[in-house]
Amino acid sequence: MKHIGIVGTGAWATTLGILLARTGYETVLWSRSETRAAELERSRVNERSVPGVQFPASMSVSASLDESFSESELVIVAVPSISVRENLKHISYALSAVTSIVCATKGIEIESGKRMSEVIIEELPGFCLDNIGVLSGPNLAPEIAAGKISSATVAFPSSSVSESVQSILSSDVFRVYRSEDVKGVELGGALKNIVAIGAGFIDGAGLGANI
């Protein structure tokens, strides 16, 4: 059974963990808080973020870097964009340089204006660039956790890595497309809400569809 480590315990991290565990992978959510990790492991449900959905047996929650990442073939970063860099500083020494890392966080770092994959590259300088990618799509975590059908795109510079991660993330209810356009997939996810708000203003002002 492949081991997958997930950085975060929020709605998206929990949902990805549930999705992958249901597919048959051993997944571990990593929390920086020992108290939070113990609480989730004991209750076996994330009532704060994904209420009412029980954790599969092959999914666990830990504050231990060794338990979470030492055997991981894939690491998924799924924390708010404001805390991606800080979390990477905590886990960097526990990761193998040959591990594939996919960032499921949408956003741009406020201070630097950098994309999340660029932040990861900065914080993990010894990693092969081909192994650092992103996951993005029109995904509502509670619906996916409830088993509703959804899709996303995974992008890596290397087509072989992209294909491998696509295979891991795909399931009967979660269709994953693959791409080598990391920047395009990442910016699409980060900027979509801005475009949607602008489109709403245009529509509300009655300016038509040509704007």
Query: pLDDT per residue over 129-175, tens digit each?
Result: 999 999 999 888 999 999 999 999 999 999 999 999 999 999 999 99
Q: How confident is the model at residue 96 (pLDDT cuts 50, 70, 90)?
A: confident
The token pair at 29 is 């959510």
By CB atoms closer than 10 A (0-12, 13-18, 19+), residue 154 is buried
Residue given tokens 């504050």 in the structure block? 63
Phi and psi at residue 51, to the nearest 5°: -65, 140
* Global confidence as pTM: 0.91
| Mean per-residue pLDDT over the chain, rounded | 93
Query: Which position has the higher pLDDT, 45 or 192?
Result: 45
At position 96, the amino acid (one-letter code) is S
Topology annotation, domain 3-204: Rossmann fold (3.40.50)
Tell me how far CA of residue 56 lies from CA of 16, 18, 193, in angstroms.
12, 6, 32
CA 46 to chain centre: 17
Q: Considering the chain, what percentage of its residues have pLDDT values greater than 70?
A: 98
Q: How confident is the model at residue 207 (pLDDT cuts 50, 70, 90)?
A: confident
Residue given tokens 């009655």 in the structure block? 206
Is 114 among the catalytic positions?
A: no
| pLDDT value at 103 more than 80 | yes
Q: What pLDDT, on the 0 to 100 scale, is given for residue 1?
A: 59
Give the span between the Cα atoms of 6 and 104, in whole angstroms: 10
Phi and psi at residue 190, to the nearest 5°: -75, -30
89, 148, 183, 192: the active-site residue:
192
Residue 133: strand pairing partners: 102
